[in-house]
Amino acid sequence: MKVLVLGGTGEARALAVALDESQDHTVVSSLAGRVRDPRLPVGEVRVGGFGGPDKLAEWLVAHQVDAVVDATHPFAERISASAARAAELTGVPLLMLRRPGWPSRPGWHWVGSLDEARVVAEGLGERVFLTTGRQGLAAFAGSSAWFLVRCVDPPEPPVPARSEVVLDRGPYTVEGELAVLREHRIDVLVTKDSGGPLTVAKLDAADEVGIPVVVVRRPAPPAVPVVSAVEQVMAWLR
């Protein structure tokens, strides 16, 4: 069985290992190409977008793909929508592998967008630790607050006028995150509900020092089957 795995997440890499070690599957992993130096999964890898759902459907047929697993980031709305439509067009089975979101904690402020996150954060503090990634920084460009922006690759303009950019990639430790919060005198943390263990340390650190956290809710996923573990994907394929 030939399986296309969409996404460069930790879950996608773990699934690629399981498929590569299996006697019954061939895996092709597809990365969007937005990260300059991505962590590559095992097996065959393609980098770059497909050009929309119709082109993805053509690719599935041309490469004789038997199943697709959408293991992209919870906020990768475009490719998830394209995968759902391509599966519908071709009849290729599609499963979404999605890590659970973070359970809400006291002191969290849930918002529906980055624009709303900016407004709420401005009302909570003057110095903001912004960990929503380099995509969407334009939503904070007009803010009067000061931002510590952490992302993997250098962001492109527009960025907040008063900001410092730190290039880094998880996993992080609570001790390290506490040092960041204290060194930069952070008043409020802004993040997305990415879920998973790689970046949860910042939330524990925020709890320890007692600063509020603004969390952007996940977008609604397409109407496709969803699981949360690699083992469930393997069972579905079987």
pLDDT at 218: 96
pLDDT at 115: 97
pLDDT at 126: 97
Using CA atoms, how far apart are residues 139 and 159, in angstroms rounded to an integer? 8
pLDDT at 227: 98
So where are the chain's domains?
2-100+219-237, 108-216
| Domains 2-100+219-237 and 108-216 belong to one CATH topology | yes
- DSSP secondary structure string, 161-225? SSEEEEE--S---HHHHHHHHHHTT--EEEEE---SSTTTHHHHHHHHHT--EEEEPPPPPPSS-
SS3 92: coil
| pTM, full prediction | 0.91
Using CA atoms, how far apart are residues 217 and 219, in angstroms rounded to an integer? 7
Judged on CB neighbours under 10 Å (0-12, 13-18, 19+), 189 is buried
pLDDT at 39: 81
What homologous superfamily does CATH list for 2-100+219-237?
A: NAD(P)-binding Rossmann-like Domain (3.40.50.720)
Cis omega (within 30 of 0) for bond into 158: yes
Q: What is the pLDDT along the chain (238 residues), one digit of tens a residue?
A: 999 999 989 999 999 999 999 988 999 999 987 777 778 899 999 999 999 999 999 999 999 999 999 999 999 999 999 999 999 999 999 999 999 999 999 999 999 999 999 999 999 999 999 999 998 999 999 999 999 999 999 999 999 999 999 999 888 999 999 999 999 999 999 999 999 888 999 999 999 999 999 999 999 999 999 999 999 999 999 9
Residue owning tokens 């000061």: 146
Angle (CA) 81-86-92 rounded to 5° is: 125
Indicate the CATH number of 108-216 among 3.60.20.30, 3.40.50.1820, 3.40.50.720, 2.30.40.10: 3.40.50.720
151 pairs with which residues across the strands?
167
pLDDT at 36: 72
pLDDT at 23: 81
Using CA atoms, how far apart are residues 49 and 56, in angstroms rounded to an integer? 9
pLDDT at 44: 94
